[in-house]
């Protein structure tokens, strides 16, 4: 017989503003359980967790907590006010019998010393201090809302071990699939204000969810058919021509009410990147890059080539310099030594991890339109801002909502909406997965997999990297960065290190995918005089072709050119196409010769 639950929520209902958020939600937590709470952004997951913690009183329903049961809760916006140091904040969460030395050790595992002033902490540091406060004690129940946010890969792996060995029951909300798959033993799905429970781990959730939604659709279809049959009887039945059967009429009214109440699944985000013109074959070439701050090497001796279509993940511990490396590769930060060459016709769009490009005082609609009119131009087509908002699950009533009042997930979706509306052939994404729900992550992964341009991606999400990246540049300590083929698991299989520590291989390495246009270098060849001459002269040739392309594009941008001189317009168009083709051929030839030169010199 199963032991009685430590915590029980029944028939929880809560309305925020005019919108019912929870209708009949339930939650049961037994000793030592590992439960993940999943649902779309805005479905009420964090609200239900706050009700479970006793921090929020529902409109109706009951909450039962076994006497003597202790709970520790990690919220998304912790309050550290009133404490002199982070250590004092964490120690205040300890209970009788808890180890007082554990407070400092947990802080150190999460990258803090304990002496930090809470008033001066960044948002990420405050989250890590709050996580230390809930992990340092030994409670009966841990309620964790996005515990991996702002953690680097070493800290995430430490957290996995910590949660796997704790005696406490764990209820967690997370977008980290790998964490959920490793730790969960049951799933609570919050959907349209109601909860459904599956007594299996998260790995089985998505197939189960799809089965539930398919069955709902079949039930709605059957109900609609029954209503049509009843309405037909009312109009044409023998009884209907004489005296209506009051009871049967009442049943029809009940069926109609059930059909109106049967909500379909919440809509899905529609992600589509506005495509720019095709970039050159070589997108970024870095040679012997070096950068230091206050004598500490951040990058040293990095040489890499990024080609059109590559999706490159940049990983490493917090403070390793991932964002700095991103700035060096894209030319926004000047290197102390070495060179970076950007390819031709680049149209770069950046999504920063702090969403600093979003003005908190601006409204949602003004952010999307730039404050001009009511339309958004996507892929050259004008769309009304309300329709574009719906693609990202925003309601028309939110159009005048200030950005600063949006939730973390909503700000993440808005930042994506702004970035994807701009034409690009190079997407630079710094922690794009923060605060996004699992369904939106799925769609973002599909978009990046199909994106014809190039992607530079900083992320701590291991599953996301495995699904998206074609190569990984990993920080291995002391400013050293190593380029590995494949995703995160492939990097580990090839002996990659996390935070400078050797990691055990988890999968067989796979070769880096090669574009059909990528040249194959013959290992037996040597550089001829003709090859050496081409290698020396091709850079100038490529620069001249780039100038020709820019000149032709500027001339064709004249909206009256075709009307004035149709023949001239045709000649310019042909010249632009030829220059573009010549540039692509020159770049591929130069790349082939450069790779051959490196191979010959390396023998």
What value, to the nearest 5°, has the Cα angle with vertex 523 and ends 518 and 529? 90
Contacting residues for 428 by C-beta, under 8 A, at least 6 apart: 326, 330, 348, 349, 350, 351, 456
Asked if 541 and 585 touch (Cβ cutoff 8 Å), the reply is no
Answer yes or no: do 138 and 62 share one domain: yes
Asked if 431 and 356 touch (Cβ cutoff 8 Å), the reply is no
Containing 427, the helix (H) or strand (E) segment is strand 426-430
Integer Cα distance of 345 and 579 in angstroms: 12
Identify whether 149 is part of a domain. yes
Residue 30 phi, psi dihedral angles, 5° rounding: -95, 170
Contacting residues for 16 by C-beta, under 8 A, at least 6 apart: 47
Residue 292 phi, psi dihedral angles, 5° rounding: -130, 155
Integer Cα distance of 66 and 73 in angstroms: 17
Whether pLDDT at 512 is above 80: no
The mean pLDDT of 405-416, rounded to a whole number, is 77
Identify whether 475 is part of a domain. no
Other beta carbons less than 10 A from residue 37's beta carbon: 25
The SS3 assignment for 119 reads: helix
Predicted confidence band at 452 (pLDDT cuts at 50, 70, 90)?
confident
Asked if 468 and 445 touch (Cβ cutoff 8 Å), the reply is yes
Q: What pLDDT does residue 227 have?
A: 61
Answer yes or no: do 197 and 50 share one domain: yes
Q: What pLDDT does residue 6 have?
A: 95
Helix extents (H) in 429-473: 438-450, 462-468
**Counting runs of H as helices and runs of E as strands, what totals does the chain give?**
19, 22
Q: What pLDDT does residue 223 have?
A: 65
Integer Cα distance of 396 and 403 in angstroms: 14
Answer yes or no: do 73 and 179 share one domain: yes
Answer yes or no: do 88 and 229 share one domain: no
* Tokens read off for 209: 């969810």
Helix extents (H) in 191-318: 205-236, 238-242, 246-261
Q: Please say which residue of 207, 227, 248 terminates a domain.
A: 207
Q: Please say which residue of 164, 189, 207 terminates a domain.
A: 207
Q: What is the mean pLDDT of the chain?
A: 81
Sign of the CA dihedral with 310 first, then 311, 316, and 320 last: positive
Q: Which residues pair with 424 in a beta bridge?
A: 275
Contacting residues for 13 by C-beta, under 8 A, at least 6 apart: 20, 22, 23, 24, 25, 58, 59, 60, 61, 193
Whether pLDDT at 131 is above 50: yes
Answer yes or no: do 138 and 69 share one domain: yes
Q: What pLDDT does residue 250 have?
A: 59
Which is more confidently placed, 437 or 148? 148
| Buried b / exposed e along 120-140 (16+ C-beta atoms within 10 A) | ebeebbbbbbbbbbbbbbbbb
Predicted confidence band at 236 (pLDDT cuts at 50, 70, 90)?
low
Q: What pLDDT does residue 38 have?
A: 92
| Buried b / exposed e along 91-102 (16+ C-beta atoms within 10 A) | bebbeeebeeeb
Identify whether 408 is part of a domain. no
Whether pLDDT at 197 is above 60: yes
Question: Over the stretch 564-595, which tens digit does the pLDDT of each residue have?
Answer: 887 887 888 888 878 887 887 787 777 777 77
Predicted confidence band at 55 (pLDDT cuts at 50, 70, 90)?
very high
Predicted confidence band at 355 (pLDDT cuts at 50, 70, 90)?
low
Residue 519 phi, psi dihedral angles, 5° rounding: -70, 145
Helix extents (H) in 79-186: 86-91, 102-109, 123-135, 153-165, 177-183
Question: Over the stretch 536-565, which tens digit does the pLDDT of each residue have?
Answer: 888 888 888 888 888 888 888 777 777 788
Answer yes or no: do 534 and 592 share one domain: yes
Which is more confidently placed, 257 or 373? 373
Alpha-carbon torsion, ordered 484, 486, 489, 491, to 10 deg:
-10
The SS3 assignment for 122 reads: coil
Answer yes or no: do 142 and 242 share one domain: no
Q: How far apart are the first and last CA of the chain?
A: 70
Which is more confidently placed, 94 or 502? 94
DSSP letter assigned to residue 263: P
Answer yes or no: do 145 and 228 share one domain: no
Integer Cα distance of 352 and 17 in angstroms: 32
The SS3 assignment for 386 reads: helix
Which of 194-198, 204-208, 245-249, 417-421 shows the lowest mean pLDDT across its residues? 245-249
Integer Cα distance of 83 and 132 in angstroms: 15
Measure CA 104 to chain center.
Answer: 31
Q: What pLDDT does residue 266 have?
A: 53
DSSP letter assigned to residue 137: S
Identify whether 393 is part of a domain. no
Nearest to 411 by CA among 421, 401, 423: 401
% of the chain at pLDDT higher than 70: 82
Greatest Cα-to-Cα distance within the chain, rounded to the nearest angstrom: 103
Identify whether 452 is part of a domain. no
Answer yes or no: do 111 and 89 share one domain: yes
Q: E strands of 129-193, at which residues?
A: 141-145, 169-173, 186-191
Asked if 223 and 262 touch (Cβ cutoff 8 Å), the reply is yes
When mean pLDDT is compared over 352-366, 389-403, 476-490, the highest value belongs to 476-490
Residue 167 phi, psi dihedral angles, 5° rounding: -85, -15
Measure CA 430 to chain center.
Answer: 9
Answer yes or no: do 69 and 165 share one domain: yes
Integer Cα distance of 139 and 167 in angstroms: 8
Tally of structural domains, the chain: 3
Identify whether 181 is part of a domain. yes
Integer Cα distance of 493 and 510 in angstroms: 9
Give the 3-state secondary structure percentages of the chain, helix then strand then coil, rounded to 5. 40, 20, 35
Identify whether 279 is part of a domain. no
Rg (CA), the chain: 29
Predicted confidence band at 520 (pLDDT cuts at 50, 70, 90)?
very low
Q: What pLDDT does residue 228 have?
A: 65
**Scanning the structure block, which residue is given the tokens 């993440």?**
412
Q: What pLDDT does residue 509 have?
A: 35
Integer Cα distance of 421 and 10 in angstroms: 43
Which is more confidently placed, 501 or 313? 313
Answer yes or no: do 119 and 240 share one domain: no
Identify whether 354 is part of a domain. no
Answer yes or no: do 145 and 93 share one domain: yes
| Buried b / exposed e along 486-498 (16+ C-beta atoms within 10 A) | bbbbbbbbbebbb
What value, to the nearest 5°, has the Cα angle with vertex 571 and ends 569 and 572? 65
Q: What pLDDT does residue 389 have?
A: 83
Domain enclosing residue 202, as ranges: 7-207
Whether pLDDT at 506 is above 70: no
Asked if 347 and 424 touch (Cβ cutoff 8 Å), the reply is yes
The CATH number of whichever domain residue 590 belongs to comes to 1.10.287.380
Whether pLDDT at 527 is above 50: yes
Which of 18-22, 191-195, 475-479, 545-549 shows the lowest mean pLDDT across its residues? 18-22
């Amino acid at each position: 017989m199963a032991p009685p639950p430590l915590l029980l929520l029944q028939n929880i209902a809560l309305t925020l503003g005019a919108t019912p958020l929870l209708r009949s939600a339930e939650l049961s937590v037994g000793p030592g359980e590992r439960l993940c709470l999943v649902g779309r952004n805005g479905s009420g997951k964090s609200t239900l967790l706050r009700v479970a913690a006793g921090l929020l009183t529902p409109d109706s329903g009951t909450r039962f907590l076994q006497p003597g049961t202790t709970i520790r809760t990690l919220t998304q916006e912790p309050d550290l006010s009133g404490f002199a140091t982070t250590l004092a904040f964490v120690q205040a969460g300890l209970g009788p019998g808890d180890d007082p030395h554990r407070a400092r050790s947990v802080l150190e595992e999460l990258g803090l010393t304990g002496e930090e002033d809470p008033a001066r902490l960044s948002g990420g540091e405050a989250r890590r201090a709050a996580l230390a406060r809930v992990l340092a004690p030994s409670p009966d129940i841990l309620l964790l809302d996005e515990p991996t946010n702002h953690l680097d890969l070493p800290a995430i792996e430490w957290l996995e071990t910590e949660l796997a060995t704790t005696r406490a029951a764990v209820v967690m909300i997370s977008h980290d699939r790998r964490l959920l798959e490793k730790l969960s033993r049951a799933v609570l799905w919050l959907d349209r204000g109601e909860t459904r429970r599956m007594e299996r781990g998260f790995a089985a959730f998505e197939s189960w969810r799809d089965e539930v939604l398919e069955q709902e659709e079949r039930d709605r279809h059957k109900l609609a058919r029954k209503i049509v049959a009843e309405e037909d009887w009312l109009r044409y039945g023998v009884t209907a021509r004489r005296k209506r059967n009051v009871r049967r009429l009442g049943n029809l009214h009940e069926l109609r009410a059930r059909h109106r109440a049967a909500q379909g699944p919440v809509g899905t985000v529609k992600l589509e990147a506005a495509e720019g013109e095709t970039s050159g074959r070589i997108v970024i070439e870095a040679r012997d890059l070096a950068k230091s701050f206050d004598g500490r090497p951040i990058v040293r001796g990095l040489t890499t080539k990024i080609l059109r279509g590559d999706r490159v993940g940049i990983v490493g511990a917090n403070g390793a310099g991932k964002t700095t490396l991103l700035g060096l590769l894209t030319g926004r930060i000047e290197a102390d030594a070495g060179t970076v060459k950007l390819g031709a016709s680049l149209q770069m769009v950046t999504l920063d991890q702090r969403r600093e490009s979003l003005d908190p005082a601006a409204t949602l609609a003004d952010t999307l339109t730039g404050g001009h009119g009511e339309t958004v131009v996507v892929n050259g087509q004008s769309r009304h801002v309300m329709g574009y908002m719906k693609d990202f699950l925003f309601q028309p009533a939110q159009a005048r909502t200030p950005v600063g009042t949006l939730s973390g997930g909503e700000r993440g979706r808005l930042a994506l909406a702004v970035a994807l509306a701009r034409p690009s052939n190079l997407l630079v994404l710094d922690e794009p997965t923060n605060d996004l729900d699992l369904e939106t992550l799925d769609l973002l992964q599909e978009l990046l997999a199909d994106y014809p341009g190039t992607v530079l991606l900083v992320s701590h999400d291991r599953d996301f990297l495995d699904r998206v990246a074609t190569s990984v540049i990993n920080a291995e300590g002391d400013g050293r960065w190593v380029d590995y083929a494949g995703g995160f698991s492939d990097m580990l299989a090839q002996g990659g290190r996390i935070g400078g520590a050797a990691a055990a291989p988890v999968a067989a390495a796979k070769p880096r995918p090669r574009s059909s246009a990528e040249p194959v270098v013959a290992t037996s060849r040597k550089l001829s005089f003709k090859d050496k001459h081409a290698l020396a002269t091709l850079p100038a040739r490529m620069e001249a072709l780039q100038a020709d392309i820019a000149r032709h594009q500027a001339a064709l941008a004249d909206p009256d050119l075709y009307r004035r001189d149709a023949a001239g317009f045709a000649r310019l168009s042909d010249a632009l196409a030829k220059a573009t083709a010549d540039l692509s051929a020159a770049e591929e030839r130069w790349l082939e010769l450069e790779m051959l030169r490196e191979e010959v010199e390396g023998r």
